[in-house]
Structure 1
Amino acid sequence: MTNDTLKTARLSLRLSQEEFARRIREVGKAVGEPNDASKRLVQRWESGVTAQPRPVYARALEAVLGVPIEAMGFPARVSPDREGGHDMSAAEASAPGVANPETTAVAQAEQSNFSGIWLSRYEFYSSSREQTFTGAHHVLLLQTGDRITGRSISPNSLDPQSSMSVDLTVDRNIITGTWRERTGEEGFYRGATYYGALQMLAEPTGRRIVGKWVGFGKDFDVNTGPWELVFLDASTAPGTIERYSSAPQA
């Protein structure tokens, strides 16, 4: 199974596979853990041929992307005694004791493909400010079978340093999954990371997806609000991603 989560993250940074590998090498060297990341290795990760990066690469990936390795479409990292001399193949990652949720995905026939650039827009109520706000990103969605991964390619209209990702499953017009947003260090929420669930429906045209988000507030209360995705462009080419790199108007 291809690792669209990692591919989406790379594309959201507007990096080629070769540039991404170079960034991984630079980070490794900077932290005193040099590595030999190459375009070929990135290709193996994204194609799913290599399902588990070695710890030295996992740590560099976390530094480059700013999220845990489990949030990049890889299984949770294995224990040090399994580090070995090469990254684990997809077959090794599927062995007993190594989680590989990708093997449970089943392609859905005769359904829309939602890959492309979308406007993501959601509302939330801020109890500390006693006001409802609308946040918006341009997001890149990639779909393989019944799985959709997405990542913001522009700043949030409310927080220039915010980044957002979604991990979704499609069943006909029903789309469910999880969301994650990391706020900016200089923004109102001071670098906090928020998580939650999404329950959405795709309209018959396949050009608008609407639903609700659920998440937790600071006082352990459960919050919810509307969330919609509006189709903008089917292209996922670097030039298209660059064109949507500025924050949308709320």
Structure 2
Amino acid sequence: MRTKGSRSISVKSKWTKTKWLLADRALRQFVPETKLFTLSSLNDMTGRYKMVYFKPTGGSGGNGIARIVRTSSRKFRVKKDARTFETSSTGSLYGRLKRIARGRSYLLQKGIHLQTSGGRPFDFRMTMQKPEKGKWVPSVMFVKLGKPNTVVTNYHQGGKLALVGETLRRSGYSSGQIERYKMRLRTLGLQTARCFERRSPRFRELGLDVALDRTGRLWILEVNTRPNFYALKSLRDKSLFRTMVRYGKKYGRTR
């Protein structure tokens, strides 16, 4: 657990944060099945799900993430960054993933087939900030658009930021549906903020990465306790960046 000054804290471990979400009765239904990477959990997860994500417990910005796709009963295709390789057994897959991990802790997470907009997969970022004691604000929400067939949507991995309304409209959603999704994202943000606040009152900002699958269901992929502000400068509309900075000033994140 990392502290910034005496006012706000940051937790790097995705596994710790996932366990908090899973322990919350209201939120566990929104969390894709996630397990620590072991040979046993790899056998289990790849046996039950055709697509599984391999994620470092302490990574950020989409770094180190690989996508595993089961192509037949015993064969797998793995994509990491621009590289793709295939294996012919779970044992050889485990060996290759162990080499990628290099002794670091990794997670396996059920893969979510993301909704697309203009042919690009996307997920949502819902940012929560707490400028005053005990008062969380759903400050900004936006979309991260990935390149077609990429493993992650992150801006630092070639993704692009966009507005929620225009992205969902391009996917064929009506104005009413768009407003309902925005309301659901704010609700998820507030529920997550309350969940984290029960662990410590010193959290001041959270960035939820929320997937929309092709059936219309929302999933919390992970929660960042020190979300990136500056990628928002890439949007034509600078108001989202200004909003985050304004709230961030109240707890010392920005000047």
TM-score (structure 1 length as normaliser):
0.26
Instruction: Give the structure with the higher percent helix.
Output: 2
TM-score (structure 2 length as normaliser):
0.26
Q: Which has the higher contact order (CA 8 A, sep 6+)?
A: 2
